[in-house]
Copies of this chain bind each other. A is one copy, B any other.
Amino acid sequence: MSSSEIMLNLNQKAINLLQEDADKIEKLIEVQMDTLTNRRCPLYEEVLDTQMYGLSREIDFAVRAGLLTETIGKEIMSRLERNLAKLYEALSVNEGNE
């Protein structure tokens, strides 16, 4: 393999790993969305926040190690943040209806 092929492989691997972790958080958000009949669960929100922080540190490391552009890293985080905002919005609407 040429050196540029090696870097491409590594970069792709890094993106796949980060996307896997992002998907796990996405699942956590969906599960909470599906159980909107429940009230807000502070413990669940704490878990989501912790997972988001962990992922942001992984992404930051990958960018510094040159495996990822900052733009791709930000895209992964922004997508999750948008979904998380939707969840919190849905939860507060739901609370208002009770």
Q: Which residue of chain B has the shortest Cβ distance to A55 in the bound complex?
A: B57
B-chain residues with CB within 8 Å of residue A1 when the two chains form the complex: 3
User: What is the oligomeric copy number?
Assistant: 2
Assembly CA distance A61 to B54 (angstroms)? 10
Chain A interface main SS type: helix
Which residues of the partner chain B approach A61 to less than 8 Å between Cβ atoms? 17-18, 21, 58, 61-62
A interface, CB within 8 angstroms of B:
1-3, 6-7, 10, 13-14, 17-18, 21, 50, 53-55, 57-58, 60-62, 64-67
Query: Would you list 25 pairs from A and B whose C-beta atoms are within 8 A, ordered by A residue?
Result: A1-B3, A2-B3, A3-B3, A6-B6, A10-B65, A10-B66, A13-B65, A13-B66, A14-B65, A17-B65, A18-B61, A21-B61, A53-B53, A53-B54, A54-B54, A54-B57, A55-B57, A57-B57, A57-B58, A58-B58, A58-B60, A58-B61, A61-B62, A62-B65, A65-B67
